[in-house]
C-alpha cells in the first residue's frame, strides 16, 4: 500500500519506478468495486479509488459532493494515465519511446515526449549530469548480466561497464518539436526517474481544469491540491526502506508534491549489491544513500530531483538544491541517520 487515504491519518509512501509499466493496461480501467465514499466529520466527502496504474498500486482521492461525478473524474484520470503509457512505455512495441530507442530517432514525436525529454535535459544540466535519462544502456548491461545463469556475482566486467558508459550523455539527445534524435548509435532513453512524476502532474492538471480544488493523486509519486476537506493538510508517510512495515517520517502537504527514490526498489542481483539507481559518471550503482525523498511544488521536479540526489554525495546534493526555493529533501544514510536539505 502506498500514499495516503482519507480514512487513515497516515499511510506508507513507497517509491515505485516505471519499470513495470507494461502491466498497467490490465489494471487501468475504472474498478467500481474499489471505489468508496469516505464521509468526514466536516467538509465535502472524499471519493477514494484504489487500483493499479503504471504497473503498481495507485490511489486517487477526490473531494466532491456528487459521487457519480467523482467517479467520472476518476475514469478521466485513468484514461489520461493510459494515454501517456502509450507514449512512455519501455515495453509496448508501439510506444513512442520504444520506437525512439529502436531507431535512434523519431520524427513528429508526441508533444508529451518532447516536453518530458526537454525537462529531463534541463534537470541533467541542473544536476551536473547526475540525472541522466540516457542510462538505459547501463541498465540493460546489468540486467542482461545478472539475467544469465551462473552470472558473476561481482557484476559485469569493468571494461564492459566503461564501454557502455560512453553511450550515456543527456547532452547527446537532440530534442525538437519535429524530431528527437540521438547523436551516438546505441544510445537509449529510460524515463524511470521522471515519468511517474510527469504523469502525476498531468492527471492533477486535468482534475484542476475540471474545477477541483481538493485532490490527492498517488501514481507512484504524490501530489496534493489544496487541503484535506477536514481542514488539515493531506498526510503521507515515508516508508523505512529497510523495513516496509515501519514509517520513518510523516509529512503534511498542501499544494505540494513528494517523491522518494530508494535503491532497494529494484535490485539486479539476489544479494542486492547492484541497484537500479546508476551513477552516469562511474557506471556503477549509487551507494551513498538508503533513500531520498524530495518535496517540491510539482511531482515532475520532485521525481527528477529524488533520482539525482540519490546519485551524489551530500555536498553536491546541497549544491543542486541551492537556488531552488521551496524544494526540500530528506536523505537517509545507510546507517539510518538523516540529512535534511536545506539544513
Residue 114 included in any domain: yes
Is 134 part of any known ligand binding site?
no
pLDDT tens digits, 209-265: 999 999 999 998 999 999 998 889 998 888 777 777 778 888 899 999 999 988 666
> What would the grid cell of residue 39 be?
464521509
- Label residues 155-189 b or e (16+ Cβ within 10 Å = b): bbeeeebeebbebbbbeebebeeeebbbeeeebbb
* Alpha carbon distance 205, 257 (integer Å): 13
Q: Residue 19 has what pLDDT?
A: 30
> What would the grid cell of residue 32 be?
467500481
For 107, the domain range is 96-182
pLDDT tens digits, 43-87: 688 999 998 877 778 899 999 999 999 999 999 999 999 999 999
Is 272 part of any known ligand binding site?
no
* Alpha carbon distance 117, 123 (integer Å): 10
Residue 127 included in any domain: yes
Distances from the Cα of 298 to the Cαs of 72, 194, 201, 224, 241, in angstroms?
Answer: 24, 11, 7, 9, 23
Residue 126 included in any domain: yes
Which tops the pLDDT comparison, 255 or 35? 255
Count the domains in the chain.
Answer: 1
pLDDT tens digits, 257-308: 999 988 666 778 887 788 888 999 999 998 889 999 999 999 999 999 999 9
Residue 120 included in any domain: yes
Residue 281 included in any domain: no
Is 307 part of any known ligand binding site?
yes
Mean pLDDT within 181-192: 96
pLDDT of 171 over the 80 cut: yes
pLDDT of 179 over the 70 cut: yes
Residue 132 included in any domain: yes
| CATH number of the domain residue 168 falls in | 1.10.3980.10
Residue 306 included in any domain: no
Q: Which of 165, 25, 183, 16 is nearest to 95 (CA)?
A: 25
pLDDT tens digits, 99-142: 999 999 999 999 999 999 999 999 999 999 999 999 999 999 99
Amino acid at each position: 500500500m502506498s500514499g495516503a487515504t482519507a480514512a487513515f491519518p497516515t499511510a506508507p509512501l513507497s517509491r515505485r519506478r516505471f519499470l513495470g509499466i507494461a502491466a498497467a493496461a490490465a489494471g487501468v480501467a475504472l474498478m467500481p468495486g474499489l471505489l468508496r465514499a469516505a464521509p468526514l466529520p466536516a467538509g465535502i466527502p472524499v471519493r477514494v479509488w484504489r487500483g493499479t496504474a503504471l504497473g503498481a498500486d495507485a490511489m486517487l482521492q477526490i473531494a466532491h459532493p456528487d459521487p457519480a461525478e467523482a467517479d467520472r473524474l476518476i475514469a478521466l484520470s485513468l484514461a489520461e494515465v493510459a494515454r501517456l503509457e502509450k507514449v512512455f512505455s519501455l515495453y509496448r512495441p508501439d510506444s513512442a519511446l520504444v520506437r525512439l530507442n529502436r531507431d535512434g530517432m523519431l520524427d513528429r514525436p508526441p508533444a508529451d515526449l518532447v516536453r518530458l525529454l526537454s525537462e529531463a535535459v534541463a534537470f541533467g544540466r541542473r544536476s551536473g549530469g547526475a540525472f541522466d535519462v540516457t542510462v538505459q544502456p547501463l541498465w540493460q548491461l546489468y540486467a542482461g548480466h545478472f539475467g544469465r545463469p551462473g552470472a558473476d556475482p561481482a557484476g559485469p566486467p569493468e571494461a564492459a561497464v566503461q564501454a557502455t558508459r560512453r553511450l550515456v550523455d543527456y547532452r547527446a539527445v537532440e530534442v525538437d518539436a519535429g524530431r528527437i534524435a540521438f547523436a551516438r548509435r546505441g544510445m537509449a532513453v529510460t524515463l524511470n526517474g521522471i515519468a511517474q512524476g510527469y504523469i502525476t502532474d498531468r492527471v492533477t492538471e486535468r482534475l484542476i481544469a475540471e474545477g477541483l480544488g481538493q485532490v490527492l493523486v498517488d501514481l507512484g509519486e504524490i501530489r496534493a491540491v489544496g487541503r484535506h476537506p477536514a481542514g488539515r493538510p493531506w498526510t503521507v508517510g515515508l516508508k523505512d526502506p529497510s523495513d516496509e512495515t515501519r514509517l520513518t517520517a510523516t509529512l503534511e502537504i498542501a499544494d505540494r508534491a513528494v517523491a522518494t527514490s530508494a535503491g532497494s526498489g529494484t535490485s539486479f542481483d539476489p544479494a542486492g549489491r547492484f541497484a537500479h539507481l546508476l551513477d552516469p559518471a562511474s557506471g556503477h550503482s549509487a551507494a551513498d544513500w538508503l533513500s531520498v525523498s524530495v518535496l517540491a511544488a510539482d511531482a515532475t521536479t520532485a521525481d527528477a530531483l529524488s533520482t539525482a540526489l540519490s546519485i551524489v554525495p551530500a555536498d553536491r546534493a546541497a549544491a543542486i538544491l541551492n537556488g531552488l526555493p521551496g524544494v526540500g529533501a530528506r536523505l537517509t544514510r545507510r546507517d539510518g541517520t538523516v540529512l535534511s536539505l536545506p539544513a
